[in-house]
A and B are shown apart, each in its own frame.
Chain A
Amino acid sequence: EPEVTQTPSHQVTQMGQEVILRCVPISNHLYFYWYRQILGQKVEFLVSFYNNEISEKSEIFDDQFSVERPDGSNFTLKIRSTKLEDSAMYFCASSQDPSPSTDTQYFGPGTRLTVL
């Protein structure tokens, strides 16, 4: 069964450093998402991406965040200058169709980001 993959599984960084989280969506999917989950909290939407553009973003997704599809397979989330409060599990997801009513978003296993 095809699946979303993410690397690394755990990233430790110092406050103020830049990090790039990587995701390989399911190969025939066209819509990509990033969510985050702070420990003990709910899963929160960050951004959706289609056709090399951001489709939608939440208020969490401020100027320190950016997303990119650098090639035909990878989808990345960059955090420019990490803060302690960026420590969380970051989940990538993908779907064939952007509408949840007609298609399922499949989640990757997540990258645990720890900012020291």
Chain B
Amino acid sequence: RKEVEQDPGPFNVPEGATVAFNCTYSNSASQSFFWYRQDCRKEPKLLMSVYSSGNEDGRFTAQLNRASQYISLLIRDSKLSDSATYLCVVNNQAGTALIFGKGTTLSVSS
């Protein structure tokens, strides 16, 4: 089983749409969870950390279900600038290295 699995997409949505991405992870000992954003041929940039109680940052909402080992990201009111690849990331057992999913590609069109 892959460590972090994501639907690769692409998700093609119009501006203003709401879109949700899902992710599952295999290591039940993982302690930290993140969503990163990666633009084409650029470095990953932290979008938000994901907490057990769920958390929101503007138009972005992240949820974590430890029992199901499932993470989600909801983007409301999509903007053209949201077009990117969204990477689901967890820490490894030792708590230092980040383990990345392959990413879900989002394309927002006008």
Enumerate A97-116 residues with CB–CB distance to B below 8 Å.
Answer: 98-101, 104-105, 107-110, 112
Expressed in whole angstroms, the minimum distance between the Cβ of A108 and any Cβ of chain B is 6
Complex: how many Å from CA A3 to CA B41? Answer: 17
Identify which of A12-20, A42-50, A65-73, A78-86 touches chain B. Answer: A42-50
Number of A-B residue pairs with CB-CB distance less than 8 Å in the complex they form:
59
> Mostly helix, strand, loop or mixed at chain B's interface?
loop
- Residues of B within 8 Å of A44, CB to CB, are 100
Within 8 Å by CB of A110, from B31, B43, B102, lies B43
Interface size class of A (residues with CB under 8 A): 20 to 34
- Residues of A within 8 Å of B95, CB to CB, are 98-101
Can you list 27 pairs linking A and B with CB atoms under 8 Å apart? A35-B98, A41-B102, A42-B4, A42-B100, A42-B101, A42-B102, A43-B100, A45-B99, A48-B96, A56-B96, A89-B41, A91-B43, A99-B95, A100-B31, A100-B34, A100-B91, A100-B96, A100-B98, A101-B91, A104-B46, A105-B98, A107-B43, A107-B44, A107-B45, A108-B43, A109-B42, A110-B43
